Structure 1
Amino acid sequence: METPLAGSPDRIAGPLPLTLRRLLDPSYPLCREDLVWALDYIKRKVAEGAPEWSGLDRPRLLALFAAYAGVATHLLNRQSLCSEDAEHLRALLRDTLP
């Protein structure tokens, strides 16, 4: 069941799954598997043509892709996630959402 993200920035539109809401919560400890899940979730939504992604203009899509690539690259280059990395990754993850 999906519910809106309470207290999220206004620019994040629509309902988000519980796992994604947890990842955006600063008190939740991030792990690689959760971030890989989030990237896969975003990839599936885009491939399915979800309205929150399909209605975006090209510059916004490119910005979302840049953030998506940033999360993926960060996971490839780092073996562990320290608290500084976690906040940076949360910011990038937020930037991948329409």
Structure 2
Amino acid sequence: MNSIPNRPGARPANDRWRRLLDPAYPLRREDLIWALDDMKRKIADGAPEWTGLDRPALLARFASFAELAMYLLRRPSLCGEDAEHLRALLKDALSS
């Protein structure tokens, strides 16, 4: 997913995702926790962007999801220099 659509009636989460992926937006720990929770909820709800994935694509997304989660467990706070890497992981977790 290269971009998150900005259509009328789109979920407010789309705006939040757009902010999180914007390099000018300062990432916070709470943002990453929200992103992981949103992804988890979409999977549990059977969102088509997740249920339609083949096994290799699903495993690749899960690897990015898991790396983000492990980052949060290992580091008490976010470092500015890690923001680019974290955004790349978010994009990988969202794209097929």
What's the TM-score, normalizing by structure 1? 0.83
Distance (whole Å) between structure 1 residues aligned to residue 5 and residue 54 of structure 2: 23
Instruction: Give per-residue Cα distances to partners, 1:7-47, cap 9 Å, x unaligned.
Output: xxxxxxxx861111100000000001111000000000011
Instruction: Give per-residue Cα distances to partners, 1:33-67, cap 9 Å, x unaligned.
Output: 11100000000001111011110000000000000
Higher relative contact order (CA 8 A, sep 6+): 2
Query: Which residue, 73, 76, 93 being the options, matches 2:73?
Result: 76
What's the TM-score, normalizing by structure 2? 0.84
2:73 aligned with 1:97: no
Q: How well do the aligned residues superpose, as a CA RMSD in angstroms? A: 1.6
Runs of 5+ unmatched residues, structure 1: 6-14
Q: Secondary structure at the match of 2:77?
A: coil
Distance (whole Å) between structure 2 residues aligned to residue 45 and residue 69 of structure 1: 16
What count of residue pairs does the alignment treat as equivalent? 87
Runs of 5+ unmatched residues, structure 2: none
2:79 aligned with 1:85: no
Match of 1:48 in 2: 45
